[in-house]
A and B are shown apart, each in its own frame.
Chain A
Amino acid sequence: MHIPDNYLSPATDAVLAVAMVPIWVHSAHKVREELDQEQVSFVGMAAAFSFLLMMFNVPLPGGTTGHAVGGTLIACLLGPHAACLAVSVALGIQALIFGDGGILAFGANCFNMAFVLPFVGHAVYQLVLGANPSGARRAVALFVGAYVGLNVAALVAAIEFGIQPLLFADAGGQALYCPYPLAVSIPAMCIPHLLVAGVIEGVATVAIYEFVARVAPDVMIRPNTSMRKASSLLPVAALVGILVVATPLGLLAEGTAWGEWGADEIAETGAGYVPAGMENGFEWEALMPDYTLGALPDAVAYVISAIAGVALLVVAFKLLSLAARPRGAYAG
């Protein structure tokens, strides 16, 4: 679901980026209020899960690939505001370092995956959860919340794509940016997410949430912030390590995700032409484009990318946790 540069007009990019600013500011305030130092530190690990999930590409019907995001997972573990920040940082790292997702389109990607996804997912989760939930009900709530959250985000992205030809076309009627109208973009994005990617998101969310709840309940946010029993983050770190090593599996799925083609690929996808905005658009030279590193074999570079991304996220949020209140300190 990462929107590359030049698929959305600069105007669209700008509007969505501006819309994200108060959301980020508000989320930062709420995180400062609600989470203590250990929890903010853990946001880094949760962001690492999201980052890794986004590296596991799965083949989707239609020959494209897709991936889970994990935004709802973070929202249920640490609150939707923390999820917003975590996914935003992960997307930022992916855009700057790995060229996954555009730089100008950063605002749009954050809007879809760091705002719509976790907030909708969390709201649905709470709705299904109800009061005094059993273990099974919580699992169902997690799955449904994650599933709905991902699909609503996909729908929003599809709408962002689909309105481009309507709003931004040249004199000859050719689209300047994304050439596919709503009638194409919505089914193309939503059907694979409804059928496959949403299921993966739901399953991953339930599995990881239950795992963390069992081994490290200490760092999760709960309605009653009374005594928490001690827990260890070592198993969580081990899970992250396993996922890192397994990331090359994401290379097995061939084909580019819908809406993530390069300018060279788009003509063959059925549009028949390369939109002018894409041909002459903004280019960003990422350090490790598409998670490759020069002459190193793809799998090795993929794992190194995963390691670097995870480490960067953990370090970034640990540094941010210095600004949070220490565990045991009263809030406000």
Chain B
Amino acid sequence: MSPLVEFCDVRFAYASSRQFALDGVSFAVNEGEACALVGPNGCGKSTALRLLVGLDHPLSGEVRFAGEAIDASALHDVRFSKRLRQRVGLVFQDPDVQLFCPSVAEEVSFGPRQMGLAPEEVQRRTDDCLRLFDLERLRDRAPWRLSGGEKRRCAIACVVSLAPDLLCLDEPTNGLDDESRAGMVAFLRSFVAAGKTVLVATHDLQLVSELGARTISLARR
């Protein structure tokens, strides 16, 4: 069976920089796997996740998801890009720049409402996600009033409510206390056990071992 995610000799440089953020990177992630992109700061972990969801496009090489190439022309097809972003959920490193709705409940329900689901289904998904990430008592609170750890859980919840096949997380355990961290790890393990795929960009090797993830090392240029 072909891999769910493939990076084939990908090169990428940000417009403002002459240095390549990724220079000839190749790796694959299979369905139902937990994988971790590891490496020092500045080695391109976050960049690789951005390329996967089409926020940026490689200068050369190919990024594939479920056998389909992710590039500018593919994303021009509105339906393709929406389907991609429903199937691949990306949680940024900084949860502050992920939350833009007036309350936590609206934040979590934003995605399902977009998908045109029935109101009961939207409500069900919202309640489930709030419960999964221990946000029930915060449902009416404004996101900017949350603590750092609460924001991170909220950011993950509002991506999980889309029911993605692949969950991409950028440094998911930053700023979490032990309890929240344990809850996060348990969720991710259940997610993978149910046949879904997780790709984590992290320098937290303990998380990698707790998830039982296969590591993909990126070296800094």
**Interface residues in chain A, defined as those with a beta carbon under 8 Å from any beta carbon in chain B:** 326, 328-330
Chain B 29-64: CB-based contact to A (< 8 A → 1; otherwise 0): 000000000000000000000000000000111000
Q: Can you list 10 A-B pairs with a CB-CB distance of less than 8 A?
A: A326-B13, A326-B59, A328-B11, A328-B59, A328-B60, A329-B59, A329-B60, A330-B59, A330-B60, A330-B61
Which residues in B have their C-beta under 8 angstroms from that of A330?
A: 59-61
> What B residues does A328 contact at CB under 8 A?
11, 59-60
Given contacts A326-B59, A328-B59, list 8 more A-B pairs with CB under 8 A. Answer: A326-B13, A328-B11, A328-B60, A329-B59, A329-B60, A330-B59, A330-B60, A330-B61
B interface residues, tally (CB under 8 Å): 5
Interface of A (DSSP majority class) = loop
- Interface class of chain B by DSSP: strand
A326 to B59 alpha-carbon distance, docked (Å): 8
Which residue in chain A gives the minimum CB-CB distance to B71? A330
Chain A proximity of B25: nearest CB distance (Å): 14
| Nearest CB on A from B150, distance (A) | 42
Min CB distance, A80 to chain B, in Å?
Answer: 27
What is the bound-complex CA distance between A328 and B13, given in angstroms? 10
List chain A residues, Cβ under 8 A from B59: 326, 328-330
Residue of B nearest to A331 (CB): B60
Q: Inside 8 A of A329's CB, which chain B residues have their CB?
A: 59-60
Give the distance to chain B from A326, nearest Cβ to Cβ, in Å. 6
Q: Which of B1-47 contact A (CB under 8 A)?
A: 11, 13
* Residues of A close to B61: CB separation below 8 A: 330
Distance (Å) between the CB of B76 and the closest chain A CB? 15
Q: Can you list, as one digit per residue, whether each of B51-87 has a CB less than 8 Å from chain A (1) or not (0)?
A: 0000000011100000000000000000000000000
Of all chain B residues, the one with the shortest Cβ separation from A327 is: B59
Which residues, 109 to 136 on B, are CB-close (under 8 Å) to A?
A: none
- The chain A residue sitting closest to B23, CB to CB, is A328
A330 to B59, CA, bound (A): 7
Contacts of B13 in A (CB 8 A): 326
4 closest A-B pairs by CB: A329-B59, A330-B60, A328-B59, A328-B60
CA distance A244 to B95 in the complex (A): 58
Chain A nearest CB, measured from B134 CB (Å): 46
| Docked pose: A247 CA to B14 CA in angstroms | 42
**Distance to closest chain B CB from A88 (angstroms):** 29
User: Complex formed: what's the CA distance from A328 to B9 in Å?
Assistant: 12
Most buried by A among B11, B13, B60, B61: B60
Collect the chain B residues with CB atoms within 8 Å of residue A326's CB. Answer: 13, 59
A329 to B61, CA, bound (A): 8
Given the complex of chains A and B, what is the CA–CA distance between A330 and B62 in angstroms?
10
Report the Cα distance A328→B60, complex, angstroms: 7
The smallest C-beta distance from B19 to any residue of chain A, in angstroms, reads 12
In whole angstroms, what is the CA distance A277 to B150 when docked?
Answer: 83
Give the shortest distance, in Å, between B201 (CB) and chain A (any CB). Answer: 24
A92 to chain B, nearest CB (A): 30
Across the interface, name the chain B residue whose C-beta is closest to A325: B59
> Which residue of chain A has its CB nearest to the CB of B60?
A330
CB proximity of A36 to chain B, nearest CB, Å: 10
